[in-house]
Structure 1
Amino acid sequence: MERWKPEVKCSEREERLLKLAGRSRKLFVFLREHRHELFAEAFQAELEAMYRDSGQGDEPQPPALMCMGVLLQAYLQVSDAEAVRLSATDRCWRLVLGTLAQDDDKPAFSQGGLQQFRQRLIRHDMDRRLLERTVELAKETRAFDWKKLPKQLRVAVDSRPLEGAGRVEDTFNLLGHAGRKIAECMAVALETTVEEVCAQAGAPLLAASSIKAALDVDWNDSEQKAEALNRLCKQLDRLSAWVEKRRPKESEEAPLGRYIEALVQVKAQDLEPVPGGVRIRQGVAEDRRVSIEDAQMRHGRKSKSKRFNGFKQHLSTHLDSERVLACAVTPANRPEEEAAPQLQADMARIGFEPDELLIDRAYLNSTLVEHVVGRAGAIVCKPWKGAHGKPGLFGKRDFKINVRDGTITCPGGQVEAFEPGQVVQFDPEVCGPCPLRAQCTHAATGRGRTVTMGEDEALQKKLRSLQETRTGRAKLRERVGVEHRLAHLSNRQGPRARYLGTRKNTFDLRRLCAVQNLETLARRSAANGGALTCSVL
């Protein structure tokens, strides 16, 4: 396999292009200058390890060249077809890809080759390695004065919502969509039309372009709506039985098997049996599927009023160098803490162990927090809002909590021992005659005040103390660094995912973070007096 060996020095023609590109496309300049460092021999060998030498087929393009194309595609957010065109016609692309000196306008790679290379990166987890490589490059360039950076590693973690690429549908359309896809797969397998498959299976509703138009009922009439649902389900049952009878082996294979599983899942989550048929389930099923094409999209909430359907993107950022160290993608309905193990593992791979962790409250119960606390690190976060109690009564904040001794003292002076996660019950014989009882509890006679202690009570007390001081509040505001990284990411990618599924969107996030790290390096290098143009031959 041929290895990519781009020229280090620039020709006069390249120098002129770099001056023009430096005004609006500064990353092109940086990549042209540092491409040989980014794709060093060792990293190119890692990329080449994704391939096996079978001796068959055409010789693949150098993996480093393809990887550079993937980065440029993410930088400009263009499609595969547009990336191929730009590699042939855009002089800035050809400058970075090292094909500017060629006389012909041949693309540097094909659309199919770009897609296959992306799949290789995902299959071998080399998209993660690409992000790691941009972190390593910072130490190999003059972008940072590492002696001036704080010795403590300060890491901030946050997330943002990402709308999924799959179509979100209601129950009727989910059922109809899955059934239509099953019919289409069978039509391809039997070399016939969808209409013929639906006719033979006894499911004519699925041949229509719109399932609701085919049902043709008054959707405001609950009886007609219930009848339409049962009519659709009966035809779907007939289709499933017909598929099982005609092509039992095909039912286990993708893509037919995938759509059969989707239909079964939608029925289980959205329908419940009633005498004479089925009805739409009351309430929302846990982990409800919302799209046929993207099985991993979920309903999510950014706040009580803001809902979204898709995924959450999580970033881990080194605050002092503004680099993204790790990232993860989770379905929208999963709590933020579930992304922490992947972030922690990816940071550990490149030797980063946070000494100070700045996070949102949603990550407080994560393993990453436990890890940092276990290493005697600092957690910077807003505390959970403590219960103030009923109006006119003492709240938990009015009690003195001694975490070291494991005791809690009420406003009246009664002391009780506690364990994390325990509900403390004060002695009713002491509470009864207490002059402050009317301000403390409305419990019945013979019962005392109760206070619930958190599992992380010691940490919560530290966080409350942090928030009460001016210095602590200033410390909390430092988390804005990761919010800026998320804002840059949102500005480049937009609100909607490019791909289906968590893994492909993780790939997209990693390459976007790699581009963001490279832009940071370019900016820091320019600020520190590093040359952003190459020396002329």
Structure 2
Amino acid sequence: MDRWKPTVEQSAREQRLLKLAGKSRKLFVFLREHRHELFDEAFQDELEAMYRQTGQGQAPQPPAMMCMALLVQAYTQASDAEAVCLSGTDSRWRMVLDRLGADEDEPAFSQGGLQQFRERLIATEMDRRLLERTVEVAKRTKGFDFKKTPKTLRVGVDSRPLEGAGRVEDTLNLLGHAGRKVAEGMALALGTDVEEVCQQAEAPLLMASSIKAGLDIDWNAPDAKLDALNRLCRQLDCLMAWVAKQSKSCVAAPLTRYIEALAQVKAQDLEPRPEGGVQIRQGVAADRRISIEDADMRHGRKSKSKRFNGYKQHVGTDLDTDLVVACAVTPANRPEEEATLALQEDMAHQDLFPDVLLIDRAYLHSSITEDVLASGGGDVVCRPWRGASAKPGLFGKRDFKVNIRAGTLTCPAGEVEPFEPGAVVQFDPEACGPCKLRSRCTQAASGRGRSVAMGDDERLQKRLRSRLQSRAGRAGLRERVGVEHCLAHLANRQGPKARYRGTRRNLFDLRRLAVVQNLEVAARYQRAA
């Protein structure tokens, strides 16, 4: 395959374009000036290793050029089709891709070629390597002064919600959507139309423009929803029985995906009725699927009042350089702590380990927190748990003295009780009964004493509470704002909704956006110098 060999010297036309681009699209300038550093010979060797050197088939476009195209696409948020067009018509794209000398209006690549290259990057984990590469290039940029950078690594970790690209549907529509896709897949495999398949399979509801239009019932009538559900399920059972009678060669991978989705929705949302038939399940199944087209999307909550459907994006940022060093994407229903293993893996590939970890409470019980604390010299900066709120006028947990070394808890009146991490301390009722402070301490029934719940990580919580009492400690907590600003920049570029379906493709997109973010940070260092 051909290797990308972009020129370093700038032509007069390029200098004019750089002057124009520098007013509104500054990253075009940085990419043109540093593309030979970003895609040096060693990194191009890594990119070319993604391909088999068989000599068969059509030679691919230079991988480094395709990689640059993906970066410019992320920077401009262009679609695949628009990226193909811009590679031939936009002078800034053509300049960065080193195509100004090519025929006018000739695209640098095809839409299929761009999609295939993206899938190849994902399959070989080269999107992670690209993120690492931007960190390396940024640290060599003029204006990045290692002497002024602290020797300790301070990493901030945070997340943001991302609405999924798949359609969220209720149970009836999920069943109908999956059934319709199975019918379409069988029609394609047999070389016929969907209507013929639905008639043969005795599933006429799937021919309607929508399942609820096909059911055509008064939804306010008693038992109407239940009757509609059972009618649809009977026809879906007929469809699956008909599919089972067809040749196994017809049931290919794309069709299998929808057959499995249909079975999954039935298992999670339906339960048998004692009278026969099925009904909507009482309660919500764990890890409930909410979309047919995107199997990984889930319901999630950012707060008690804010619900969303899709994913959570997690980033780890070097707070002293503003560079993103790690990325992770999880379904929206998964706790934040589950993402830290992926973040640690990204950092381990760069031989990075945080000396100081700045997080919010959602990451307190994560593996990265445990590892930083276990390292001996590591520090975790986070707000402590508030604990159960005391009733107005009553002593709260902060009014009790915790002695970690002795393993004791002392109440405001001076009574001492031993405690175990994760247990509930019950004070002696005989001491609490006649206590002068009882009215300010507990409203427990007569014969019962005050109880205080202790955390599993009480030693850490005490340290975090102590830090919150000092001005310097509160200032340290505010330094996590750097990772929040980073997420805000990523959200501003991407918007609230995912570009792709599936966890892995959305991780690719997050890494690509982080690459653009790091390059903009490097450009800022250069301008400041």
Tell me whether the two structures share a fold, i.e. TM-score over 0.5.
yes
Aligned pair 1:96/2:83, yes or no? Answer: no
Aligned pair 1:403/2:400, yes or no? Answer: no
Q: 1: CA distance between counterparts of 2:397 and 2:354? A: 32
2:219 aligns to what? Answer: 219
2:176 aligns to what? Answer: 176
Residue 445 of structure 1 deviates from its aligned partner by 4.8
Identity %: 72
Q: 1: CA distance between counterparts of 2:194 and 2:409? A: 71
Aligned pairs (5 A) from 1:89-238: 89-238=89-238
**Contact 2:89–2:104 at 8 Å: present in 1 too?**
no
Residue 438 of structure 1 deviates from its aligned partner by 3.9
Q: 1: CA distance between counterparts of 2:247 and 2:12? A: 65
Superposed CA offset, 1:40-61 (max 9, x none):
1111111011000122111111
The range that moved more, 470-479 or 443-452, is 443-452
Aligned pair 1:452/2:453, yes or no? Answer: yes
Residue 517 of structure 1 deviates from its aligned partner by 0.5
1:441 aligns to what? Answer: 442
Q: 1: CA distance between counterparts of 2:392 and 2:105? A: 76
Q: 2: CA distance between counterparts of 1:312 and 1:520? A: 24
Output the amino acid matched with 1:164: G
Q: 2: CA distance between counterparts of 1:368 and 1:385? A: 22
Q: 2: CA distance between counterparts of 1:474 and 1:448? A: 39
Q: 1: CA distance between counterparts of 2:248 and 2:398? A: 65
**Contact 2:400–2:410 at 8 Å: present in 1 too?**
yes
Q: 2: CA distance between counterparts of 1:23 and 1:305? A: 41
Aligned pair 1:316/2:306, yes or no? Answer: no
Aligned pairs (5 A) from 1:353-372: 353-372=353-372
Output the amino acid matched with 2:472: T
Superposed CA offset, 1:401-452 (max 9, x none):
0112221111221222222112223333433443333433344555433221
Q: 2: CA distance between counterparts of 1:446 and 1:191? A: 80
**Contact 1:386–1:397 at 8 Å: present in 2 too?**
no
1:499 aligns to what? Answer: 500
The range that moved more, 502-511 or 381-390, is 381-390
Equivalenced residue count is 527
1:76 aligns to what? Answer: 76
Aligned pairs (5 A) from 1:313-352: 313-352=313-352
Superposed CA offset, 1:447-490 (max 9, x none):
43322110111111121122222222222111111111111111
**Contact 1:143–1:522 at 8 Å: present in 2 too?**
no
Q: 2: CA distance between counterparts of 1:3 and 1:388? A: 64
The range that moved more, 413-422 or 164-173, is 413-422
1:425 aligns to what? Answer: 426
Q: Using CA pairs below 8 Å that are at least 6 residues apart, which structure has the higher relative contact order?
A: 1
Output the amino acid matched with 2:16: R
Structure 1, unaligned runs of 5 or more: 529-537
Aligned pair 1:21/2:15, yes or no? Answer: no
SS in 2 for 1:23: coil
SS in 2 for 1:310: strand
**Contact 2:190–2:250 at 8 Å: present in 1 too?**
no
Residue 491 of structure 1 deviates from its aligned partner by 1.0
Residue 390 of structure 1 deviates from its aligned partner by 3.7
2:511 aligns to what? Answer: 510
Q: 2: CA distance between counterparts of 1:247 and 1:323? A: 54
**Contact 2:442–2:449 at 8 Å: present in 1 too?**
yes
SS in 2 for 1:105: coil
Residue 344 of structure 1 deviates from its aligned partner by 1.2
Residue 104 of structure 1 deviates from its aligned partner by 4.3
SS in 2 for 1:379: strand
Residue 110 of structure 1 deviates from its aligned partner by 1.2
Output the amino acid matched with 2:121: L
Structure 2, unaligned runs of 5 or more: none
Q: 2: CA distance between counterparts of 1:102 and 1:239? A: 54
1:532 aligns to what? Answer: none
Superposed CA offset, 1:218-238 (max 9, x none):
112241111111100100111
Q: 2: CA distance between counterparts of 1:436 and 1:480? A: 42
1:268 aligns to what? Answer: 267
2:373 aligns to what? Answer: 373
Aligned pairs (5 A) from 1:46-61: 46-61=46-61
1:293 aligns to what? Answer: 293
